[in-house]
Chains A and B, each alone.
Chain A
Amino acid sequence: RKEVEQDPGPFNVPEGATVAFNCTYSNSASQSFFWYRQDCRKEPKLLMSVYSSGNEDGRFTAQLNRASQYISLLIRDSKLSDSATYLCVVFTGGGNKLTFGTGTQLKVEL
């Protein structure tokens, strides 16, 4: 099993739709979680950290489910500018290891 797994997509959605991505992780001791956004041929940029209680930033909501070992990202009212690849990132302190998922591609269409 991969340490961090994401559905590669692409997810093709119409503008205004709600879309959700999941990311599963294999190490139950993992302690920090992030979502990064990466545009084509550009560097990753932090979208949001994921907290145990869940957190929201405008149209974006991130949640953590430790029991099932996954994190999720919900995007409401999708915009064309949301089209990008979304990277799930997991930090495990015991091994001091940061693992990047391969990313989920989102395409928002008119």
Chain B
Amino acid sequence: DGGITQSPKYLFRKEGQNVTLSCEQNLNHDAMYWYRQDPGQGLRLIYYSQIVNDFQKGDIAEGYSVSREKKESFPLTVTSAQKNPTAFYLCASSGGGLGETQYFGPGTRLLVL
């Protein structure tokens, strides 16, 4: 079955720690995205990548980093510089750019200890 997988489902971060969230897709999509969802707010774009080895900052990139070494994979690192990391993180992919239908993974909930 084609789809997007994210791991882990829940992740706990200690103060000053970097953590990496995994996102893999087998839809053969060129574009991949990372969003953050907080209660009472719409999804906000962190980073996106439209092609391998290229990515752009979204609206709230500070404190995050990404890489796109393979078409199938787009990991997100939440660095210690992100002071309020507790949120629901969603990865998505699309066949084209931002205006195309996006398909989401099941998400990772990040909690700070």
Residue numbers of A with Cβ under 8 A of B are 4, 8, 31-32, 34, 41-46, 49, 87, 91, 93, 96-103
Contacts of B99 in A (CB 8 A): 31-32, 91, 93, 98
Contacts of B102 in A (CB 8 A): 46, 98
Chain B binding surface SS class: loop
Check B16 for interface membership: any CB of A closer than 8 A. no
Write the nearest CB–CB distance from A50 to chain B, whole angstroms: 12
**Contact of B98 with A43 in the complex, beta carbons under 8 Å:** no
Per CB-CB distance, the 7 closest pairs between chain A and chain B, nearest first, are: A100-B42, A43-B104, A91-B99, A100-B43, A98-B98, A32-B99, A102-B42
Knowing A4-B42, A44-B43, A87-B42, the reply to whether A97 touches B106 (Cβ < 8 A) is no
Residue numbers of B with Cβ under 8 A of A are 35, 40-45, 88, 90, 97-99, 101-107
Most buried by B among A34, A43, A93, A100: A43
Chain A binding surface SS class: strand
Knowing A42-B106, A43-B90, A44-B90, the reply to whether A101 touches B101 (Cβ < 8 A) is no
For the complex, what is the distance from the CA of A60 to the CA of B24, rounded to whole Å?
Answer: 32
Contacts of B97 in A (CB 8 A): 96
Write the nearest CB–CB distance from A91 to chain B, whole angstroms: 4
For the complex, what is the distance from the CA of A45 to the CA of B90, rounded to whole Å?
Answer: 12
Contacts of B105 in A (CB 8 A): 43
